[in-house]
């Protein structure tokens, strides 16, 4: 158990879901392999070719809804930590899958959005969405119904929950990063912010991330082994 910590912030990235069968972005056969980031993860790319972008996210949503992916031991260990710690655990995830919730995590911030929600491209209002988003799907919140888009934060868009995240980093006495390459900001900067406020910092990853030097402690190996080892 992680005594004596009482305020733990955990940042997760695609690597925590890799052993559940969800592809990462920048690894071998990653999601970016057959897509240019600017074509599928920017507002410009969506405006240029909405059908291509919808299809990129529809395929990932279908996988999530297919029943073929489940939380792995890393997600389950974090949910157990939240239940058992005499203190507070905040999961800040860059992932848009629902595997943390499926494992039982409750206190979670999806800073890059959620695959199982859609949003009005005009107002940003979100609704739960359990199927494909087609170009014919329009919102119910605007006088002139606007197209529905994936509820996902693209490059150049403001991540979700930044105030809550900064508050959590201010209080944290332990910051753990799991399964992220540290390639994307502002998430990659959270370790520096937590350390500045006196938190101990641990990186758990398959290999050193781009911000490995910022961590006080580093342990490398698959998340399904490393996270239970740290938490139990
Ligand atoms: C913003 C969409 C500002 C969702 C994604 C400095 C400060 C602030 C911003 C910037 C900055 N410098 C540059 C920027 C701009 C930009 C940015 O960071 N660019 C990068 C390329 C330099 N950031 C932004 O635009 C962000 N917005 O800053 O807004 C603003 C302010 C005011 C007003 C408006 C705006 C928005 C960033 C969000 C972009 N959206 N995707 C989706 O499609 O899912 S990013 C994409 O990368 C995903 O969201 C993903 O979450 C994220 C990070 O990737 P990882 O999760 O780390 O995955 P990756 O494949 O890279 O790595 C996996 C790791 O796991 C590897 O290290 C691997 O070794 C490991 N692993 C693999 N298997 C395992 C494992 N580990 C353990 N066990 C295993 N089994």
pLDDT band at 168 (very low <50, low <70, confident <90, very high): very high
CB within 8 A of 12, min separation 6: which ones? 78, 91, 92, 93, 94, 95, 100, 177, 178, 179, 180
Active site residues: 112
The reply to whether ligand 1 has any atom less than 6 angstroms from the CB of 37 is no
73 three-state secondary structure: helix
Q: Mean pLDDT of all residues in the chain?
A: 95
The reply to whether ligand 1 has any atom less than 6 angstroms from the CB of 19 is yes
Q: What is the pLDDT of residue 1?
A: 57
CA of 229 to the centre of ligand 1 (A): 26
The reply to whether ligand 1 has any atom less than 6 angstroms from the CB of 159 is yes
81 three-state secondary structure: helix
The percentage of residues in the chain with a pLDDT greater than 90, rounded to a whole number, is: 91
Which residues are 8's β-sheet partners? 89, 174
Interface predicted TM-score (ipTM) of this complex, two decimals: 0.94
Is the pLDDT at 33 greater than 80? The verdict is no
- Calculate the alpha carbon distances from 139 to 7, 113, 160 in Å: 39, 18, 21
Mutate to test the pocket of ligand 1, among 73, 110, 179, 209 (most ligand atoms within 8 A of CB): 179
> Containing H/E element for 153?
none
CA of 154 to the centre of ligand 1 (A): 9
Which residue's CA is minimally distant from atom 60 of ligand 1? 25
């Amino acid at each position: 158990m992680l005594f004596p910590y009482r305020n733990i912030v955990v940042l997760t990235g695609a690597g925590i879901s890799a052993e559940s069968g969800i592809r990462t972005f920048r690894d071998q056969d990653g999601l970016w392999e057959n897509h240019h980031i600017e074509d599928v993860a920017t507002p410009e790319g969506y405006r240029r070719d909405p059908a291509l972008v919808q299809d990129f996210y529809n395929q990932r949503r279908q996988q999530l809804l297919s029943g073929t992916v489940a939380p792995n031991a890393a997600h389950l260990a974090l949910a157990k930590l939240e239940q058992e710690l005499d203190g507070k655990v905040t999961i800040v995830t860059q992932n848009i899958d629902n595997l943390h919730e499926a494992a039982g995590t409750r206190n979670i911030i999806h800073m890059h959005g959620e695959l199982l929600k859609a949003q009005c491209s005009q107002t940003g209002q979100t609704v739960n969405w359990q199927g494909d988003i087609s170009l014919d799907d329009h919102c119910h919140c605007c006088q002139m119904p606007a197209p529905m888009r994936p509820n996902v934060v693209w490059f150049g868009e403001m991540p979700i929950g930044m105030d809550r995240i900064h508050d959590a980093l201010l209080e944290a006495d332990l910051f753990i990063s799991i399964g992220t390459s540290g390639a994307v900001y502002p998430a990659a900067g959270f370790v520096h912010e937590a350390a500045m406020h006196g938190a101990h910092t641990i990186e758990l990853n398959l290999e050193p991330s781009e911000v490995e030097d910022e961590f006080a402690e580093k342990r490398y190996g698959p998340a399904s082994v490393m996270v239970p080892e740290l938490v139990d």
